[in-house]
Amino acid sequence: MQAQIQTMLALQDSMNSKVHPQWREQGYEWYRAVWVECAELMDHYGWKWWKKQQPDWEQVKLELIDIWHFGLSDLLMQHEDASHLSSILEAALRESCAAQDFRVALENFVEATLVQRAFDLSAFAQLMAAADLGFEDLYRGYVGKNVLNFFRQDHGYKDGTYIKLWGGREDNEHLVELMAGLDVAGASFKDDLYAALQQRYRELAR
């Protein structure tokens, strides 16, 4: 787990540096990105008592992985020593969490985020447990989404020229499909996934 956590921290630092080389000095409000994502997450879970709704767990977990990107960024800002931070993360993610209603866990996490104006690691671990999102799935989803984020930046995401719909489907859908055919534990996983995205983008994005 320690090696995988260190990989995620390094990837997040690289992604943030790609968006802005001096990202640590920009004063980005990571906590704000977190709570906005939480609202989207609640929509995927369902909260309207006046209509029939079923949780879309696949989308819920994808939103949690998006939140994890912002959370890692905030934690990297709080801890300059990445090695020490990885130990903190491992301890929190290994801690056993009691079962909790997902909506309550989400609201507790949002409350902690807004009160502290920071990412609350313990509350996020509770939220992962409520969504039955294990560490291996978090890692797999994070690395995949990180590669897609790099791909987007390389293909015009920041200047608005990137095409998000490929052959009528969102790039996230293609990402999940392509990941299923690759060895996530393999040393070349990131490069293989990027190459697969590149090929499909050329074939389908118009």
Q: 80-91 burial, b for 16+ CB within 10 Å, e for fewer?
A: eebeebbeebbe
What's the rounded mean pLDDT across residues 144-154?
Answer: 92
Between the CA of residue 1 and those of 4, 90, 134, what are the distances in Å? 5, 7, 12
Per the structure block, which two tokens stand in for 73?
Answer: 């960024």
What's the rounded mean pLDDT across residues 122-129?
Answer: 94
Per residue in 42-92, pLDDT tens? 998 998 989 988 988 888 998 999 999 999 999 999 888 888 999 999 999
Query: Tell me, what's the pLDDT at 58?
Result: 85
CA distance 11 to 69: 10
Query: Tell me, what's the pLDDT at 82?
Result: 85
CA distance 173 to 55: 18
Query: Tell me, what's the pLDDT at 25?
Result: 93
**For residue 180, pLDDT beyond 90:** no
CA distance 40 to 59: 10
CA distance 74 to 16: 11
What's the rounded mean pLDDT across residues 18-45?
Answer: 93
**For residue 183, pLDDT beyond 90:** no
pLDDT above 70 as % of the chain: 100
Query: Tell me, what's the pLDDT at 128?
Result: 94
Query: Tell me, what's the pLDDT at 3?
Result: 87
Check the CA dihedral 193-196-202-203 and report its sign. Answer: negative
Per residue in 188-201, pLDDT tens? 888 999 999 999 99
**For residue 13, pLDDT beyond 80:** yes
With contact defined as beta carbons under 8 Å apart, do 191 and 144 qualify? no
What's the rounded mean pLDDT across residues 142-166?
Answer: 92
